[in-house]
Structure 1
Amino acid sequence: MSRRSVVVTGIGVVAPGGVGTKDFWDLITSGRTATRPITLFDAAAYRSQMAGEIDFDPAEHGLSHREVARMDRAAQFAVVATRECLADSGLELSGLDPARVAVSLGSAVGATTGLENEYRVLSDTGRKWVLDHDYAVPELYAHLVPSSFAAEVAWAAGAEGPVTMVSSGCTSGLDSVGYGRDLIAEGTADVVLAGGTDAPISPLAVACFDVIKATSPRNDEPATASRPFDRTRNGFVLAEGAAMLVLEEYGHARARGAHIYAEISGYASRSNAYHMTGLKPDGIEMAEAIRVALDEGRTDPTQVDYVNAHGSATKQNDIHETAAFKRALGAHAYRTPVSSIKSMIGHSLGAIGSIEIAACALAIEHGVVPPTANLHERDEQLDLDYVPLHAREQLVDVALSVGSGFGGFQSAMVLRRPEGVRS
């Protein structure tokens, strides 16, 4: 059975530095950073005291008081991003069969913020071992079950097809788009709202990453603390955010005259079955995911014009994926621009994969490769073209986005300019 082509026709982004796709694109192409000292709680006692926070006023972005009361912060991000991507797509939802509209949403840590806040209330800030349910909000169960996020997106769009929550750690936002792509390719849906969301800037989440020393302790330089591929890198900067995409079957999009950003031509995921946080330096598993994703779209490695790296700024990750690029792309890896937008907006866990896919689609749209900010000192082990400091104008017909997650998850997605809209 032939698989149907899947394209991106709408983008919505909620990210540090601004709410909305335009503000996001302006930030990451300017090379500015949006990482700063944590303001959402008092982080003075923590090893890492900075994050990529979002200045987010729910009411300003159309959420009612009831919606705000019902939804965790991450769910609010997802709904706002959904509304933007639908408006951007020009889809008339009333004219669609709701059973052919699906949702695929990714999140690594679910309603961390909501659950932690409610625990403080029910335990009287930890003083009571037995929680007093009389003080629980009616939405407490929705905070416990991450699928409530996907349900909120489905309600916002009137989607009555498959509604799925994907949680595969830091590759959740990439894998959710991959799963959404598959729903259309196999014929289960015509339209999928796909993306990821996370709001993990909470005492519990910050403490978790402090324990394993995964985040940067460069608290005196929060704006430049995230330094992917730089010799002085010492960990990632935690962040929050969301991105949602409208995915459509290609014929469906063309029939209604939709603007098409990119085709998702290939996707694959692999596991290293090795260690919860450790990575082998050879990058074999990521390279295999890249190879399969390229093969699926019949894309030769030499056709890749841009690689959006995981680029977390941990010592081992940057070595691991550099090796993977060389293994998967061969000599072409040395001619291919690579960059990490985490250098500017931090690492929003289950959301970042979708945000990075949005960046790839926009790179194809505008012919601009975002830079890697804060890259001043070359690491001799890392010898590819990491586009330091400044964006680069360059035609991008094929973009590769990769993700790497704790637990050994390695995912890759290939986006390309469709033949019908090639410039």
Structure 2
Amino acid sequence: MNRQVAITGIGVVAPGGVGKKAFWDLLVSGRTATRTLSFFDPSPFRSQIAAEVDFAPERHGLTPREIRRLDRAAQFAVVSARECLADSGLEFAELRPERTGVSVGSAVGGTTTLEREYLALSDSGRTWELDAGYISPHLFDAFVPSSLAAEVARVVGAEGPAAVVSTGCTSGLDSLGYARDLIAEGSADVMLAGAADTPISPIAVACFDAIKATSPRNDAPEHASRPFDRTRNGFVLAEGAAMFVLEELGHARARGAHVYGLISGYATRCNAYHMTGLKPDGREMAEAIRHALEEGRTDPASVGYVNAHGSGTKQNDRHETAAFKTALGDHARHVPISSIKSMIGHSLGAIGSIEIAACALALEYGAVPPTANLHEPDPECDLDYVPNEAREVAVDTVLSVGSGFGGFQSAMVLAREPRQESAA
């Protein structure tokens, strides 16, 4: 794979603000978007907090028909895809549609629509016999996750490879990795890639309650997500999306595109161990990091910022700290590391792409987002986790990692575009 892949457009729908500017402003301010859950009555649940997106679809160009037809996750994907297209400056009418593809990640697909329709059909669970006459004509699109890729493809008329990648909480990294590989191997010139998830629903909240993965710090929702803090007690459920325009670097340069960075390395591994458990040594994550760095011919000591998975669960943060020490060696103690989940929560399959947006913007603006709510560092998490305040750091190389149920461990490396040699 000798074709380099550039990020030339970014679109974000995230808690705290829609659009990449609002997203970045929130991160560097260190503000949190976690709050008491408002989408439904949270009182029956152990964890009553979430990072919700204030999203009015009509304000973002969706028509009444699109609003009725599209699941909330698909709405997020379409809106962020339109933003990244505008940001890239691409004229898709001038592209070869068969060389343009789509890759979208999602962990739970059309959960919002599926739960809403089930409640209507079953009279809120009071009847087992469902009357098919009440079924929405658009229910199939929510039931089949592949509809996410189809909707994004329609935005631009992309007729090349189209796929949904669903690998739990690493979906947003893996969808980008798949898109990068298609361009690098020559199967596509341009890809719209990213992820979307809207899991804030009673069924999802109940599932995470059952395994006590989410924080019950209901009295202080804005301070509930505390990655790497000694007092952390679980993650905060969230929703969101991020989409990107990825291009072969020569293609981007030929049209004078602005390049946020190159995806120089990517790797994914599985621990083949436990559905939700993690080995404390972090070996599989370390292996993914090592391979991603090697693929990009990147010296570990050149990594200027690490965007951590940083979910805020006891086992994840220990596991991740061990992985950084193994993969980066002594450099792990000197590189700034942070978790933006402390501010925008954990949007499951979408978060990996949202974190890559943060990484690309860190390269762009020379700043590292903080880990909010980090006031009592855990002695077992003894690295530089950038507590509470953003830090100005000019970086050329960024590492982002993800960890997901099922044992998935993924790593991606972004690098600044190398300077072009001027003609003699």
TM-score, length of structure 1 as denominator length: 0.99
| Structure 1 partner of 2:402 | 403
Q: How far apart are 1:121 and its partner, in Å?
A: 1.1
Hey, what's the Cα distance between the residues in 2 that align with 1:421 and 1:220?
54
Hey, what's the Cα distance between the residues in 2 that align with 1:379 and 1:311?
13
| Structure 2 partner of 1:140 | 139
The within-5 A match list for 1:326-337 is 326-337=325-336
Q: How far apart are 1:421 and its partner, in Å?
A: 7.1
| Structure 1 partner of 2:343 | 344
1:197-231 residue CA offsets vs partner (Å, 9 max, x unmatched): 00000000000000000000000000000000000
Gaps in structure 1 of 5+ consecutive residues: none
The 10-residue stretch of structure 1 (125-134 or 114-123) with the greater mean CA deviation from structure 2: 125-134
| Structure 2 partner of 1:116 | 115
| Structure 1 partner of 2:45 | 46
| Structure 1 partner of 2:58 | 59
Could you list the structure 1 runs, at least 4 aligned residues long, displaced by more than 2 angstroms after superposition: none
Aligned amino acid, residue 141 of structure 1 = F
| Structure 1 partner of 2:308 | 309
The within-5 A match list for 1:159-308 is 159-308=158-307
Aligned amino acid, residue 9 of structure 1 = T
Q: How far apart are 1:124 and its partner, in Å?
A: 1.6
SS of residue matched to 1:419: coil
Hey, what's the Cα distance between the residues in 1 that align with 2:195 and 2:40?
24
SS of residue matched to 2:410: strand
| Structure 1 partner of 2:382 | 383
Aligned amino acid, residue 142 of structure 1 = D
Hey, what's the Cα distance between the residues in 1 that align with 2:28 and 2:177?
25
SS of residue matched to 1:82: helix
Hey, what's the Cα distance between the residues in 2 that align with 1:172 and 1:369?
23
| Structure 2 partner of 1:319 | 318
Q: How far apart are 1:36 and its partner, in Å?
A: 0.3
Q: How far apart are 1:264 and its partner, in Å?
A: 0.2
Hey, what's the Cα distance between the residues in 2 that align with 1:44 and 1:158?
45
Hey, what's the Cα distance between the residues in 1 that align with 2:352 and 2:106?
10
SS of residue matched to 2:83: helix
SS of residue matched to 2:256: coil
The 10-residue stretch of structure 1 (119-128 or 335-344) with the greater mean CA deviation from structure 2: 119-128
Aligned amino acid, residue 172 of structure 2 = G
| Structure 1 partner of 2:17 | 18
Q: How far apart are 1:333 and its partner, in Å?
A: 0.4
Aligned amino acid, residue 391 of structure 2 = R
Hey, what's the Cα distance between the residues in 1 that align with 2:264 and 2:129?
52
SS of residue matched to 1:257: coil
Q: How far apart are 1:89 and its partner, in Å?
A: 0.2
Hey, what's the Cα distance between the residues in 1 that align with 2:3 and 2:326?
30
Q: How far apart are 1:420 and its partner, in Å?
A: 2.4
Hey, what's the Cα distance between the residues in 2 that align with 1:197 and 1:409?
18
Q: How far apart are 1:3 and its partner, in Å?
A: 2.0
1:268-302 residue CA offsets vs partner (Å, 9 max, x unmatched): 00000000000011000000000000000000100
| Structure 2 partner of 1:9 | 8
| Structure 2 partner of 1:413 | 412
1:359-410 residue CA offsets vs partner (Å, 9 max, x unmatched): 0000000000000000000111111000000000011100000000000000
Aligned amino acid, residue 143 of structure 1 = A
Hey, what's the Cα distance between the residues in 2 that align with 1:131 and 1:149?
27
SS of residue matched to 1:331: helix
SS of residue matched to 2:306: strand
Aligned amino acid, residue 43 of structure 1 = P
Hey, what's the Cα distance between the residues in 2 that align with 1:218 and 1:159?
44
Q: How far apart are 1:126 and its partner, in Å?
A: 1.2
Q: How far apart are 1:122 and its partner, in Å?
A: 1.1
1:32 equivalent in alignment to 2:59:
no
Hey, what's the Cα distance between the residues in 2 that align with 1:130 and 1:84?
43
TM-score, length of structure 2 as denominator length: 0.99
Hey, what's the Cα distance between the residues in 2 that align with 1:11 and 1:52?
21
Aligned amino acid, residue 258 of structure 1 = A
Number of residue pairs aligned between Structure 1 and Structure 2: 421
Aligned amino acid, residue 34 of structure 2 = T
Hey, what's the Cα distance between the residues in 2 that align with 1:367 and 1:180?
26
SS of residue matched to 1:420: coil
Aligned amino acid, residue 55 of structure 1 = D
Hey, what's the Cα distance between the residues in 1 that align with 2:49 and 2:157?
38
Hey, what's the Cα distance between the residues in 1 that align with 2:129 and 2:5?
50
SS of residue matched to 2:398: strand
CA RMSD of aligned residues (A): 0.8
Aligned amino acid, residue 86 of structure 1 = L
Aligned amino acid, residue 324 of structure 1 = A
Hey, what's the Cα distance between the residues in 2 that align with 1:185 and 1:271?
23
1:312-349 residue CA offsets vs partner (Å, 9 max, x unmatched): 00000000010000000000000100000000000000
Hey, what's the Cα distance between the residues in 2 that align with 1:157 and 1:351?
21
Aligned amino acid, residue 13 of structure 2 = V
Aligned amino acid, residue 229 of structure 1 = F
